[in-house]
Amino acid sequence: MKVRRSVYLLSLLGFCSLCIAQSQTPQKKHLLVLGEEKGYRHESVSHAMATIERLGEATGLWDTTIRTDTEVLT
């Protein structure tokens, strides 16, 4: 009888700790989007960068930094 109670109590505690771990909000990611164009300019690049930024804002999963020049980075 005591063993059954112990197993029940341990499984209940395990379940509660699992619920607590899942309820914590994940930390936001930081996303760097590079959109430098050299020579040929494709019209969908700016649209894609804006879409990535909007998706990050809408979901709250990441912050987006958009760079169109890589000179500062190199």
Is-contact 65 56, C-beta < 8 A?
no
Note the pLDDT tens digit of each residue in 24-52. Answer: 667 889 999 988 877 788 888 888 989 99
Mean of the pLDDT values across residues 52-70? Answer: 90
Q: Which residues contact 64 (CB under 8 A, 6 or more apart)?
A: 31, 33, 52, 53, 56, 57
What would the two tokens of residue 1 be? 């009888």
Is-contact 49 18, C-beta < 8 A?
no
pTM score of the predicted model: 0.59
How far apart CA 35 and CA 50 sit, in angstroms, is: 11
pLDDT higher than 80, residue 21: no
Top pLDDT among 43 and 19 is at 43
